[in-house]
């Protein structure tokens, strides 16, 4: 028997103001996108903004449904949109912000497991990391250098 230890590394910024200009602007787009969330059931609004290597930004927000599982997270709305419109353009960065209308969301909100898997598909396909920045409505911003860093033991097409 043997054991392995899997470590991950994050960078923590005190606030959006500590981000460089490009990432701050991307996070501001995610904040704007959050306003278009359709979340009448959870009251939890999420916005995401992707920066592509061609300089384009693609946004998404969570879209809920009365049949709950039919809804979709902001990150997947954004990444599937990017895949549909710019299928061969690398994704460089994603900024994510979330806020509840019921309570103050001051802690960074990480992407859910399904979104990590969906984003990883594109990271694997393009063979280069996607930087991930995530925050609540206010407060600290967490940065990961890649999706894989947030999803160890990733499942990819080579297992099929
Ligand atoms: N949500 C996202 O948009 N992204 C995540 O990574 C986590 C959860 C949405 C889904 C649902 O509309 C609401 O937040 C509550 O789970």
Q: How confident is the model at residue 116 (pLDDT cuts 50, 70, 90)?
A: very high
Examine residue 65 and state whether it is found in any structural domain, yes or no. yes
Q: Is 75 a catalytic residue?
A: yes
Look at the chain and report how many structural domains it folds into. 1
Residue 56 neighbours by CB under 8 Å, 6+ apart: 86, 89
Examine residue 132 and state whether it is found in any structural domain, yes or no. yes
Examine residue 6 and state whether it is found in any structural domain, yes or no. no
Atom of ligand 1 at shortest range from CA of 63: 12
Residue 53 neighbours by CB under 8 Å, 6+ apart: 89, 90, 91, 92
Q: What is the mean pLDDT of residues 34-48?
A: 98
Examine residue 129 and state whether it is found in any structural domain, yes or no. yes
User: pTM, whole model, 2 decimals?
Assistant: 0.97
The answer to whether the CB of 75 is under 6 A from ligand 1 is yes
Q: What is the mean pLDDT of residues 96-108?
A: 96
* CATH, residue 70: 3.40.140.10
Q: What is the mean pLDDT of residues 6-32?
A: 97
Report the C-alpha gap between 122 and 133 in whole angstroms.
Answer: 17
β partners of residue 12: 142
Residue bearing the CA closest to ligand 1, atom 10: 73
Measured CA distances, 147 to 10, 17, 69, 108 (Å) = 11, 23, 24, 16
CB 147 within 8 A of CB 129: yes
Q: How confident is the model at residue 59 (pLDDT cuts 50, 70, 90)?
A: very high
Which pLDDT belongs to residue 111?
Answer: 98
Segments forming the whole domain that contains residue 128: 11-151
The answer to whether the CB of 44 is under 6 A from ligand 1 is yes
β partners of residue 72: 63
């Amino acid at each position: 028997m043997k054991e392995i230890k899997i470590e991950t590394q994050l960078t923590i910024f005190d606030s959006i103001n500590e981000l460089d200009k490009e990432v701050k602007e991307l996070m501001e787009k995610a904040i704007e996108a959050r306003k278009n969330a359709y979340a009448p059931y959870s009251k939890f609004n999420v916005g995401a903004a992707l920066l592509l290597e061609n300089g384009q930004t693609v946004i998404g927000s969570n879209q809920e449904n009365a049949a709950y599982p039919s809804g979709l997270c902001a990150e997947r709305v954004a990444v599937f949109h990017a895949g549909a419109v710019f299928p061969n353009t690398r994704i460089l960065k994603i900024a994510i912000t979330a806020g509840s209308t019921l309570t103050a969301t001051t802690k960074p909100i990480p992407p859910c497991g399904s979104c990590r898997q969906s984003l990883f598909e594109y990271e694997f396909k393009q063979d280069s990391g996607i930087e991930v920045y995530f925050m609540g409505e206010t407060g600290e911003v967490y940065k990961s250098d890649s999706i894989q860093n947030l999803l160890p033991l990733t499942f990819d097409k080579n297992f099929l």
